[in-house]
């Protein structure tokens, strides 16, 4: 039963509907063979880097991810204006392959969910200064910033579990 819960950064479990959205997304990425989730624990060495990416101290003790077929999916929660945005970032070969807003809880700024926005992140790597190339959305600055943080965080976390060439 404990394996069915996906925990958000503030410590609450997702609703059954939100949990189903996560499962559905993972099934599409891994073609129905969803791997067992793993965790990257936040060590003392990681905390300063995470704080810089998030613009605040990290609240989580660990980050959950799924890895198979050369892909890693990071499921991350970040505060938009008032509520958390749950985003999945798919990384392959240290490069963003997909960004998908799985659960959007804000009342405004929902444009960050549409493909024309999320496709801007495809191809981003840790080595690039890709953030400046992301078009903003009028009235959704905090949601845009949340997705930028989530993508940068996923790239960093992925570098911690992947051997660099």
What would the pLDDT profile of 66-105 be if each residue is shown by its tens digit? 999 999 999 999 988 889 999 999 999 999 999 999 999 9
SS3 for 115? helix
Position with higher pLDDT, 44 vs 134: 44
What would the pLDDT profile of 14-54 be if each residue is shown by its tens digit? 888 998 999 999 999 999 789 999 999 999 999 999 999 99
The pLDDT of residue 163? 61
**Residue 6 pLDDT > 80:** no
Give the start-to-end residue ranges of the domains of the chain: 2-160
**Residue 148 pLDDT > 80:** yes
Summary mean pLDDT of the chain = 87
Position with higher pLDDT, 42 vs 141: 42
Give the list of residues 6+ apart from residue 51 with CB closer than 8 angstroms, or none.
Answer: 57, 58
Phi, psi (rounded to 5 degrees) for 130? -75, -20
SS3 for 63? strand
The pLDDT of residue 50? 97
């Amino acid at each position: 039963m404990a394996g069915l819960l996906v925990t958000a950064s503030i410590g609450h479990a997702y609703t059954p509907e939100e949990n189903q959205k996560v499962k559905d997304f993972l099934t599409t990425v891994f073609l129905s063979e969803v791997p067992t989730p793993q965790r990257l624990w936040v060590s003392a060495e990681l905390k300063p880097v995470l704080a810089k990416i998030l613009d605040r101290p990290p609240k989580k003790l660990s980050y959950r991810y799924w890895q198979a077929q050369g892909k890693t999916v990071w499921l991350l929660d970040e505060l938009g204006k008032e509520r958390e945005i749950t985003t999945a970032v798919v990384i392959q070969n240290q490069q963003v392959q997909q960004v998908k807003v799985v659960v959007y809880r804000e009342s405004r700024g929902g444009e960050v969910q549409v493909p024309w926005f999320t496709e801007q992140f495809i191809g981003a790597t840790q080595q690039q200064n890709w953030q400046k190339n992301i078009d903003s959305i009028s009235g959704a600055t905090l949601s845009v910033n949340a997705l930028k943080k989530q993508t940068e965080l996923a790239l960093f976390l992925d570098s911690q579990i992947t051997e660099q060439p």
